[in-house]
Structure 1
Amino acid sequence: MIVIPARLASSRLSEKLLLRAAGKSVLQHTYEAAKRASVADQIIVAADDPRIVKEVDGFGGEARLTDVNCQSGTDRIAEIALLHEDVDIFVNVQGDEPEIDPTAIDAVAELLQQRPDADIATAACPIASMSALEDPGCVKIVMGDAQRAIYFSRSVVPHVRDGGAETLLGAEPTIFWHHLGLYAYRRDFLLWFATQPPGKLEQVEKLEQLRAIEAGKQIVVASVLPAARGIDTLDDFREFRDRVEGA
């Protein structure tokens, strides 16, 4: 099952999911992109506001109102998971990713299906520029063997002690990985996650996946093509609108 957690009151761009481009809301564009993935039998929008539910009903999708006090999108998905004992894997597609690649959704879900040792699968692509590497908004993954995530950080990791990080960009094997906010979870993991307090590292980096790392959960990473930027700011939305409307 693909679940799209949808929070109306975004801190950086309020009600961005309802902004319209080419006659459709950002949320509808995301829903339709997710629908093009082949792996899921069902898509549900986990909403925090009746206006989101009304929007989804309006374009013929399925939505469920979740607790307005959920602390994260993962908590919203856990609430959906409680209601679906028959579903083994839940894929988290962010509602503000209208240009998400459906093949990336498939890659993450299929990787978790193939790895019974893993609790979560996520996605990453190689970092190609120093500006991205040094941007705290670009979350980095330190990768181990067998596609395992060792750590996530907003800092430049791994640190190149002798300098010259720019010479390693584009090198093989890839050293610097950009984490993309796309996840597949096992149902048991979601139910565990919803009962756990934030971890120490999570509170420092403000990255909820570190809660799983601290607890010894296994995260595996699918390598995918670079993703289109999500909608965080008004400029992001305007650029997306220009692309889909052909401006």
Structure 2
Amino acid sequence: MSFSVLIPARLASTRLPRKPLADIAGLPMVVRVAQRAAASAARRIVVAADHGEIVAACRAHGIEAVLTRSDHATGSDRLAEACTLLGLADSDVVVNVQGDEPLIEPSLIDACAAQLAGHPDCVAATAAHTIDEPAEFLNPNVVKLVCDAAGRALYFSRAPIPWWRDGYGQGIPKVSTPRPLRHVGIYAYQVGFLKRFPTLAASPLEAVESLEQLRVLWHGERIAVHVSDSRPGPGVDTPEDLERVRALFACAPR
């Protein structure tokens, strides 16, 4: 199917200032992300930035970029504006690749777009992988999800779901079978829905869990889920994450 990749990038990151422009092996991180996305089947890669410095850095390395407002509450709001600026049709499909994922697998981008194409009853698609370690299952910073029989998301939570009633009565020495799922923060959207998303009222569940995707489910829409066989590469949220990714790039063959 035909789709575009949109990469939201915000300069005013709290935990890692100026994160999109952080150097990774000689290139800004957002450029590294765009280069990985360019290896997917996407017909177009565009960075949706909140600052002219990001736009300039992208264009200096041949990456298309648009300048969006700096006051957007969420990345989805930023992408909705970008869709309008780019003149995308409501029937078009875009994949939201986070600007702090310089090791994103191009095949995961393609799989997410294909998942949406295979679920015409859904307005969005995302990805997940299985959890094998109890510590990861219990970590509130790890978002979990459960799906229905058709592979559509029923709920996302920071809590450990699904709860294995009989197995967890005496502690959690291992995770259940079938394995619980960890959410991967990549989304494919129908552009028409993405433009409509900012007009939807935030849901109470979204506020409690601090998970934007719960707004979609709250309003009765569906999200298809691609379950990946492998874990994605590490993202960058903190200075420690940045150093870890820099080390991986330093060891990678040229």
TM-score higher than 0.5: yes
* 1:69-80 matches, cutoff 5 A: 69-80=71-82
Distance (whole Å) between structure 1 residues aligned to residue 152 and residue 91 of structure 2: 24
Distance (whole Å) between structure 1 residues aligned to residue 91 and residue 26 of structure 2: 33
Find out whether 1:241 has 2:251 as its counterpart: no
Look up the match of 1:135: 139
Distance (whole Å) between structure 2 residues aligned to residue 167 and residue 246 of structure 1: 33
Look up the match of 2:60: 58
3-state SS of the aligned residue for 2:150? helix
Residue 66 of structure 1 aligns with an amino acid whose one-letter code is: T
Look up the match of 1:20: 23
Structure 2: gaps of 5 or more residues: none
1:87 is displaced (CA, Å) by: 5.7
1:161 is displaced (CA, Å) by: 2.0
Find out whether 1:191 has 2:195 as its counterpart: yes
Look up the match of 1:209: 213
Distance (whole Å) between structure 1 residues aligned to residue 91 and residue 5 of structure 2: 10
Q: Which of 2, 5, 8 is matched with 1:5 structurally?
A: 8
Look up the match of 1:111: 115
TM-score (norm 2): 0.92
Find out whether 1:32 has 2:32 as its counterpart: no
Distance (whole Å) between structure 1 residues aligned to residue 97 and residue 244 of structure 2: 21
Structure 1: gaps of 5 or more residues: none
Residue 237 of structure 1 aligns with an amino acid whose one-letter code is: L
**How many residue pairs were aligned?**
243
Look up the match of 1:152: 156
Q: Is the 8 A contact 2:131 2:181 kept in 1?
A: yes
Residue 84 of structure 1 aligns with an amino acid whose one-letter code is: L
1:162 is displaced (CA, Å) by: 2.5
Q: How big is each residue's C-alpha offset from its partner over 1:14-40, in whole Å with a ceiling of 9 and x where there is no partner?
A: 1111111211111111110111111x1
1:166 is displaced (CA, Å) by: 4.3
Distance (whole Å) between structure 2 residues aligned to residue 87 and residue 35 of structure 1: 22
Q: Is the 8 A contact 2:5 2:44 kept in 1?
A: yes
